[in-house]
Amino acid sequence: MKIDKKTLDSLLSLPDDKLIMMLRVISGGEFPKKAPDDATISGLRQMLGAVTDADLLRASELIGIYKKGKKR
């Protein structure tokens, strides 16, 4: 799944429970089952809100490199 800034901003507009549910889906179930506390959710929102298009591009490049390495 490729995420752009517009999608990320849309996710941030969701209520906490829906945001956590979407993060679980996006992470392929790697997100903890236990609901995070309010401070953690606030921190996640702050961090995700600060992500730039350049950050998303770099993350996509790194994922591509990782996937190529796994195929060897």
Confidence bin at 71 (pLDDT 50/70/90): low
Please give the mean pLDDT across all residues of the chain.
Answer: 89
State mean pLDDT over 28-41: 86
The Cα angle at residue 28 between residues 65 and 10, in degrees rounded to 5: 90
The closest of 19, 16, 36 to 8, measured between CA atoms, is: 19
State mean pLDDT over 52-71: 88
- The pairs formed by 39-47 with CB atoms below 8 angstroms and a separation of 24 or more are 41/16, 44/19, 45/12, 45/19
